[in-house]
Amino acid sequence: VTLEMLTLARGLGTPSAVVLGGPGAAEALSAKLGEYGAAKIYAAESEEIDGYLVSPKATVLAELVARVQPAAVLLASAQEGKEIAARLAVKLDNGILTDVVALDADGTATQVVFAGSTIVKSKVTRGLPLVTVRPNSITPEPAAATPAVEQLTVSVPAADKLARVVNRVAEQKGSRPELTEASVVVSGGRGVGNADNFKFVEELADLLGGAVGASRAAVDSGYYPHQFQVGQTGKTVSPQLYIALGISGAIQHRAGMQTSKTIVAVNKDGEAPIFELADFGVVGDLFKVVPQTAEEIRKRR
Amino acid sequence: MNIVVLVKQVPDSGVDRNLRTDDNTVDRGSANNVINEMDEYAIEEALKIKEAHGGEVTILTMGPDQATESIRKALSMGPDKAVHVLDDALAGSCAVTTSKVLSAALGQLNADLVLCGAESTDGRVQVLPHMLAERLGVAALTGARKLTVDGSTLTIERQTEEGYEVITAETPAVVSVWDTINEPRYPSFKGIMAAKKKPVQTLPLGDLGVAPAEVGRAGATSAVLEHSKRPPRSSGTKVTDEGAGGTQLVEFLATEKFV
Ligand SMILES: Cc1cc2nc3c(=O)[nH]c(=O)nc-3n(C[C@H](O)[C@H](O)[C@H](O)COP(=O)(O)OP(=O)(O)OC[C@H]3O[C@@H](n4cnc5c(N)ncnc54)[C@H](O)[C@@H]3O)c2cc1C
Ligand SMILES: Cc1cc2nc3c(=O)[nH]c(=O)nc-3n(C[C@H](O)[C@H](O)[C@H](O)COP(=O)(O)OP(=O)(O)OC[C@H]3O[C@@H](n4cnc5c(N)ncnc54)[C@H](O)[C@@H]3O)c2cc1C
């Protein structure tokens, strides 16, 4: 989403990138940031900055914003980006818009709300446009620049040390692509029946080089881990191809996948609402349809 | 432990929701208004902590008259009392001003622990917990899928893109929870009857030292200029599996160049 933000920012002025992280964080990113038009990189690097929950980062940003008076501030619309933006808004007594998918030169933002059913145009009316940008909203466009790097001095005041990160646990990632970035997502719902049967979903995903997703009912029933949930309280995905297996298509599930380019559904209930948005639907038993699909794909290879 | 749970009334996310055409605010008249789902998990967590460690649970809501229904519903799960910030000047508040009002109310409630949902199902801005903590000068532990209380030390586990984080803080603190944290209880008949008698204090803005011009549409830090309904997706081909459903599916994928 960083490259998307740089692309959006170029519509408002000359973008600078701010890198908040451990020592060396900016160095590793500068080439890529330059490729997408960052004229300047502010590097706030410290051993401590990642040791506490977001507050130190908000403090650094607030000082920087006060000093350089930018035309706008863009952050990623994910948990951490929204949290930093929240504190920044209070520190600067500034408006904030979240889940922004487009930003005009005059600061007018487009937000998609209510499970994707409503499009809103909005504007920050106090302070500068402070927005968080939803990933996969625009296509990043390169525009080469040679960024100058400015190191910021970071000191973490006691007031920013209230919430201490005691452990970060990386969970093993398989070989499948990241759910929110995958160009193909195959999801299973309650209709998959049990955890073991998710192998049918995984097999089809692997054949198509895709990621695996799940409905909340499947997650709540323990068929698949929560981090793969698609929908209002899970991930929002927007792949080229979304395949829903044994998913009824509740509004809250649709909220997370209805901007997918092409949607395919397999469900034994012909009246299931998922068919209302499917480009191609098969009314049938997924345990018959999916193996045949897999077989047929293999045959065509 | 003195716990305050933030509860917001929202339009039911399971049916169509709309913004009003006159002032671009949520159309509450046509909606089925319910407790924000995540807040039920916050209530449940508060009740579990009270059961284990003692103390008192207070519901805090900012919202129009009809939010009273959600307050009673929340109380029927088991909390002791409620505070309702109610003032016509609040209509159209943005997240920044909402946090100003709620932090002023929290300033009067002396909570060791403020529990809330990680996000509301309508605004979904996911910023209130950190805004409140910033204003109150207390810690924020957000997005908890697990919370443990050990004396005055709070520890949460929260999911991240890479795995999960363990974060700790001393009370007083704001903790926001995901729906993975527990299974909210259903109100019992006894609970529903008891809720009718529980105290609900109404707080007008004047009692909070916040001026009407600082809140609502007048004080909002952002404005909705216009809104429109997105055209619904149209459905495409639907076939019934009579033995060749999988093959037909692959034929479709082939024409779309996915295989
Ligand atoms: C506040 C809130 C937030 C929510 N957030 C989310 C969210 O983020 N994501 C989400 O997904 N849901 C969410 N939900 C839940 C949502 O309302 C639905 O309950 C859920 O999406 C249903 O999942 P499902 O389609 O897998 O299950 P069901 O609705 O039970 O559907 C199962 C489907 O499988 C079909 N089926 C059964 N067996 C077979 C078979 N052998 N072959 C083919 N088809 C079969 C059935 O016909 C049925 O249509 C949320 C709900 C609330 C209230
Ligand atoms: C579709 C839509 C989009 C919006 N977009 C924006 C935006 O981009 N920027 C902006 O500034 N405002 C926005 N708003 C307004 C914003 O939703 C309200 O100001 C709201 O009261 C605070 O935001 P939230 O509920 O989304 O907070 P979140 O931070 O998502 O809510 C977290 C928790 O805070 C608690 N909480 C929130 N509100 C209350 C309340 N009134 N009383 C008690 N507890 C509460 C609940 O426990 C909730 O679970 C939007 C509103 C809507 C309906």
pLDDT number for residue A204: 98
Q: Is the CB of B117 under 6 A from ligand 2?
A: yes
B166 and A121: CB-CB below 8 Å?
no
pLDDT above 90 for B50: yes
Task: Let me know whether A228 and A130 are in one domain.
Answer: no
Residues with CB under 6 A from ligand 1: A 189-191, 215-218, 229-234, 246-248, 250, 252-253, 256, 266-269, 272, 285-287; B 13-14, 37, 121
Task: Let me know whether A271 and A137 are in one domain.
Answer: no
What stretch of H or E contains B113?
Answer: strand B113-117
Task: Tell me, in angstroms, the distance from the centre of ligand 1 to residue A163's CA.
Answer: 36
A90 and B131: CB-CB below 8 Å?
yes
The minimum CA-CA distance between A288 and chain B, rounded to whole Å, is 8
Residue A273 lies in a domain: yes
Q: How far apart are alpha carbons A20 and A230 in whole angstroms?
A: 29
User: Going by CA atoms, what residue is nearest to atom 39 of ligand 2?
Assistant: B8
Pair A201, A225: CB distance under 8 Å: no
Task: Let me know whether A12 and A66 are in one domain.
Answer: yes
Q: What percentage of chain B has pLDDT greater than the value 70?
A: 100
Residue A54 lies in a domain: yes
Cis, bond preceding A140 (omega within 30 deg of 0): no
Task: Let me know whether A20 and A147 are in one domain.
Answer: yes
To test the contact with chain A by mutation, choose from B15, B132, B159, B233 the residue with the greatest count of A C-beta atoms within 10 A, namely B233
Task: Let me know whether A149 and A9 are in one domain.
Answer: yes
Q: How far apart are alpha carbons B1 and B53 in whole angstroms?
A: 7
* Residue A147 C-beta-side C-alpha neighbours within 13 Å: 28
pLDDT number for residue A136: 80
Determine phi and psi for B90, rounding to 5 degrees: -80, -15
Task: Let me know whether A148 and A206 are in one domain.
Answer: no
Residue A259 lies in a domain: yes
Encode pLDDT of B97-107 as tens digits.
Answer: 999 999 999 99
Residue A212 lies in a domain: yes
Amino acid at B12: D
pLDDT number for residue A12: 94
Residue A193 lies in a domain: yes
Task: Let me know whether A232 and A120 are in one domain.
Answer: no
Map tokens 């002025």 to a residue: A13
What secondary structure does DSSP assign to chain A, as a single string? -HHHHHHHHHTTS--EEEEEESTTHHHHHHHHHHHTT-SEEEEEE-SSGGGBSSHHHHHHHHHHHHHH--S-EEEESSHHHHHHHHHHHHHHT---EEEEEEE-TTS-EEEEETTTTEEEEEEE-SSS-EEEEPTTSS--------PEEEEPP----GGG-SSEEEEEEEPPP-SSPPTTT-SEEEEE-GGG-SSTTHHHHHHHHHHTT-EEEE-HHHHHTTSS-GGGBBSTTSB----SEEEEES----HHHHTTTTT-SEEEEEES-TT-GGGGS-SEEEES-HHHHHHHHHHHHHHT-
Task: Tell me, in angstroms, the distance from the centre of ligand 1 to residue A190's CA.
Answer: 6
Map tokens 């002023």 to a residue: B104
The minimum CA-CA distance between B226 and chain A, rounded to whole Å, is 5
Beta bridge partners of B2: B56
Helix axes of A79-92 and A55-68: crossing angle, nearest 10 degrees: 50
Q: Which of A122, A157, A192 is the last residue of a domain?
A: A157
Using DSSP bridges, classify how beta strands A184-188 and A211-214 pair: parallel, antiparallel or unpaired: parallel
The total number of structural domains in chain A stands at: 2
Residue A46 lies in a domain: yes
Residue A170 lies in a domain: no
What is the average pLDDT across B235-259?
A: 95
Task: Let me know whether A278 and A134 are in one domain.
Answer: no
pLDDT number for residue B61: 98
Pair A71, A104: CB distance under 8 Å: no
**Residue burial A109-144, b: 16+ Cβ < 10 Å; e: rest:** bbbbbbbbbbbbbbbbebbbbbbbbbbbbbebeeee
Q: Write down all domains in chain B, each with its CATH number in brackets.
A: 2-219 (3.40.50.620)
With beta carbons under 8 A apart, name residues in chain B contacting A248.
none
What average pLDDT is seen over chain B?
96
Task: Let me know whether A17 and A151 are in one domain.
Answer: yes
The minimum CA-CA distance between A124 and chain B, rounded to whole Å, is 4
Which CATH number characterizes residue A26's domain? 3.40.50.620
Determine phi and psi for A291, rounding to 5 degrees: -60, -40
Q: Is the CB of A212 under 6 A from ligand 2?
A: no
Task: Let me know whether A143 and A196 are in one domain.
Answer: no
With beta carbons under 8 A apart, name residues in chain A contacting B135.
90
- Interchain CB contact of B142 with A (< 8 Å): yes
CA–centroid distance for A65 within its chain: 25
Task: Let me know whether A149 and A188 are in one domain.
Answer: no
pLDDT above 90 for B235: no
Residue A166 lies in a domain: no
* Residue A124 C-beta-side C-alpha neighbours within 13 Å: 26
pLDDT number for residue B96: 98
Q: 3-class SS at B236?
A: coil
Which CATH number characterizes residue A290's domain? 3.40.50.1220
Using DSSP bridges, classify how beta strands A97-103 and A130-133 pair: parallel, antiparallel or unpaired: parallel
Encode pLDDT of B123-139 as tens digits.
Answer: 999 999 999 999 999 99
Residue ranges making up the domain that contains A247:
184-299
Encode pLDDT of B66-75 as tens digits.
Answer: 999 999 999 9
pLDDT number for residue A171: 87
State which residues of chain A have pLDDT below 70: none
pLDDT above 90 for B49: yes
Task: Let me know whether A202 and A99 are in one domain.
Answer: no
What is the average pLDDT across B179-192?
A: 96
Instruction: Name the token pair of B168.
Output: 């700790």
